[in-house]
């Protein structure tokens, strides 16, 4: 087994602050290796399965690499950092070179990032190291590296760990089939995507209205239409609205129930954040995404988001680096849960395609969908969180889906003018009841 490089260890404190999604996934596996699936890079279809400990060490290294790659998410960012681009090559992408080959392998020092093109908006898809050596260098933990002899005592290694270009059969493959001659393929039903995403897309679903609410049922039924998805529902047994990120001291109890449409659900006697912890610690789910909602009623602005159990549950997941989205449907008679489900699906599709923001920098995402008394939803706006009600009171004024305003200043203005609002709310918030 190759040794963990000191450089990767040194960056752990940085990654703790920035988000260590892959390491946390490995930690959950290491804590319950008999009941939690390994991260795909630890149990490759092509290569050797790693021990729980080596899985954690490799995940530290991959987190280091992903941190560097996501800091240069677009080709424009890479160019601004001094990278020099080369032409796009099918299977490999367009390499942007930051330095020449290095003397030793360092997960924090890839000398090339691979993009889906060379225009400024092109997206980073892969990571490459080039090392000067007379033989294949020591690299990542484990024996699964695939070093290529480039000649002239230069060896190259690629890693495919960035959405949507993960390669689950072989994270260190030399090429990726979704980098076709015409460019990158962004289609979760494409054969190249299904061939490289052989594990289920695992989603943990919770809410604060209780497992039997119509909103969570709409979310679950929509998520189940995603190909190769595995949905686990762990939600409060009763309505727990307004409980923020409050948790219960001591053991939790739960019963096996069903959503309104009959999908299996675990009903937890506790708060929304308790339901997340129960899903992780008792059900041993190792999710790729946490969905909280769809809440019956908007959770909008700074003050409301901080007391929301819907947002609190999402924040609980994000504390252990699970990408999390809170989804709330505006009040109405009846609430327009079909529109809420469509908005959730649109965001999840962007998430799967790497277009919901670089994974390592994702905060908790808060989505609010108006229930239009007339007209229809006007689109989606990514906006800041309102810090007060200067844009209006969304709990008094109904949304105007016939509005002509196109540039809302915050989530309240967007919501009141008929837009689905998408806001980053971070992991911190009140833990009040």
CA dist 378 and 385 (Å) reads: 19
What's residue 432's pLDDT? 36
What's residue 320's pLDDT? 86
What's residue 11's pLDDT? 43
Q: What is the pLDDT of residues 119-141, one digit of tens each?
A: 999 999 999 999 999 999 999 99
What's residue 358's pLDDT? 56
* Per-residue pLDDT tens listing for the chain (433 residues): 333 333 333 444 344 334 566 778 888 888 888 888 889 999 999 899 999 999 999 999 998 898 889 889 999 999 999 999 999 999 999 999 999 999 999 998 999 999 999 999 999 999 999 999 999 999 999 999 999 999 999 999 999 999 999 999 999 999 999 999 999 999 999 999 999 999 999 999 999 999 999 999 999 999 999 999 999 999 999 999 888 888 899 899 999 999 999 999 999 999 999 999 999 999 999 999 999 999 999 999 987 878 899 999 999 998 888 999 999 999 999 999 999 999 999 999 999 999 876 554 457 899 999 999 999 999 999 999 999 999 999 999 999 999 999 999 999 999 999 999 999 887 765 443 3
Q: What is the pTM of this model?
A: 0.92
What's residue 205's pLDDT? 98
């Amino acid at each position: 087994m190759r040794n963990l490089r000191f450089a990767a260890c040194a960056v752990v404190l940085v990654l703790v602050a920035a988000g260590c999604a892959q390491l946390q996934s490995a930690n959950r596996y290491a804590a319950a290796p008999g009941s939690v699936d390994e991260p795909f890079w630890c149990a490759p279809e092509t290569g050797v399965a790693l021990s729980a400990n080596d899985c954690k060490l490799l995940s530290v290294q991959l987190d280091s690499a992903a941190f560097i790659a996501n800091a240069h998410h677009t080709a424009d960012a890479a160019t601004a950092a001094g990278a020099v681009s080369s032409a796009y090559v099918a299977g490999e992408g367009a390499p942007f070179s930051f330095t020449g080959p290095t003397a030793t392998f360092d997960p924090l020092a890839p000398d090339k990032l691979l993009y889906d093109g060379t225009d400024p908006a092109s997206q980073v898809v892969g990571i490459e190291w080039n090392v000067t050596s007379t033989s294949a260098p020591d690299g990542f933990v484990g024996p699964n590296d695939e070093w290529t002899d480039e000649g002239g005592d230069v060896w190259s290694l690629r890693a495919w760990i960035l959405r949507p270009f993960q390669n689950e059969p072989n994270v260190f493959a030399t090429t990726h089939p979704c980098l076709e001659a015409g460019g990158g393929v962004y289609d979760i039903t494409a054969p190249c995507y299904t061939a490289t995403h052989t594990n289920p897309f695992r989603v943990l679903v919770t809410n604060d209205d209780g497992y039997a609410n119509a909103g969570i049922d709409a979310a679950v039924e929509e998520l189940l239409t995603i190909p190769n998805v595995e949905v686990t529902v762990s939600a409060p047994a009763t309505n727990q609205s307004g409980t923020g990120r409050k948790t219960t001291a001591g053991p939790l109890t739960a019963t096996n129930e069903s959503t309104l449409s009959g999908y299996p659900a675990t009903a937890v006697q506790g708060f929304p954040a308790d339901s997340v912890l129960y899903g992780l610690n008792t059900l041993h789910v190792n999710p790729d995404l946490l969905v909280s909602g769809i809440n019956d009623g908007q959770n909008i602005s700074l003050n409301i988001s901080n007391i929301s159990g819907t947002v609190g549950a999402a924040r609980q997941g994000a504390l252990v680096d699970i990408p999390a989205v809170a989804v709330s449907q505006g009040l109405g008679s009846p609430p327009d849960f079909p529109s809420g489900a469509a908005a959730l699906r649109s965001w999840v599709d962007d998430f799967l395609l790497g277009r919901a923001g670089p994974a390592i920098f994702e905060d908790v995402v808060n989505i609010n969908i108006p229930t239009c008394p007339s007209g229809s939803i006007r689109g989606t706006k990514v906006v800041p969180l309102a810090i007060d009600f200067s844009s209006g009171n969304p709990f008094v004024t109904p949304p105007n889906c016939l509005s002509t305003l196109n540039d809302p200043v915050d989530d309240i203005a967007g919501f009141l003018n008929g837009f689905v609002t998408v806001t980053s709310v971070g992991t911190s918030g009140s833990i009040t009841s």
